[in-house]
Structure 1
Amino acid sequence: MRVLRDEAAIAALPEAGLRALIQKRVSEISEHCPWDADELGYFVVVEPGDPLDTLEAEIGFSVLRNLFNDTPFGHPDFAPAFELAEAHPEGYFELVYILGDGGFGYDLFIVDQPGVDPALLRFCRTYALPA
């Protein structure tokens, strides 16, 4: 898992498609105010082999459980908490979570490849719309 808290870390990404997607998001955020990871949040890239509990520890919640009543993904009463879920042709799912009135949140990029947690990929495939 990669946690990207500054533009230097984003610029160092070896995958050109992912780097361009995240740089585009930084640019969009910066149209309104300068991007500050401590104030507005940061980017997390989930890759094959990354345990789901590592993601949960980083962001403080499970994307596969309802934030308000802990209902699990797959249950008929489950409701996802993301603001945006997109499938990018570059091979990434993007999930955006805004957690506070001040705009703090996380922008998650999940690699669409075998080796990523299967439940997380099912979640993404269920909700993500084409970008």
Structure 2
Amino acid sequence: MFSITNLHAELPAEIDPFTRRLLTDRIRDAIVSGLAEMTHILLVERDDGEGDFLREAAFSPFYNPLSETRFGHPDFEPPWCWSGRMEHWGWEAIHTVGNGGFAFVILIPDAEGIDPKLLTMLREFAPFS
């Protein structure tokens, strides 16, 4: 999982051009809106799973603490407040924490090696945008 907590730092050179532009756009949006210090960007990578979310962000995309349900339960809804499908790339989700403005911006490519359970959940819950 590629994790960005310092939005003013340079991005690694090996990031592909489309993903670099996507990350740069999200970083610019957070800085312009005065939320750079309250934004943590997560880019899901090949072979990342629930443990990577727990380690990097202290939450699971498969568990909603408000309803105390896990993905697969009939009442489950993902823990984030917004998600959407980006044509030709994958998904974006925003998970806010508390009322102070802190948020995780999560970018999930629709690609080989991405957790199939995560992709299944996104296909079910994230509308095309």
Give me the TM-score of the superposition, normalised by structure 2: 0.85
Equivalent in the alignment of 1:91: 89
- Once residues 128 and 12 of structure 2 are traced to their aligned partners in structure 1, the CA distance between those partners, rounded to angstroms, is 25
Q: Check conservation: 1:17, 1:90, Cα contact below 8 A.
A: no
- Once residues 28 and 103 of structure 1 are traced to their aligned partners in structure 2, the CA distance between those partners, rounded to angstroms, is 14
Q: Which structure 2 segments of 5+ residues have no match?
A: none
Alignment of 1:72-83 (within 5 A): 72-83=70-81
Equivalent in the alignment of 1:2: 2
Q: Check conservation: 1:13, 1:19, Cα contact below 8 A.
A: no
**Could you tell which deviates more after superposition, 108-117 or 5-14?**
5-14
- Deviation, 1:69, is 3.7
CA RMSD of aligned residues (A): 1.9
- Deviation, 1:34, is 5.3
Distance 1:60 1:15, change over 3 A: same
Measured against aligned partners, the alpha-carbon deviations of 1:101-120 in whole angstroms (never above 9, x if no partner) come to 11112111112112211111
Give me the TM-score of the superposition, normalised by structure 1: 0.84
Q: How many residues align?
A: 128
- Deviation, 1:80, is 2.1
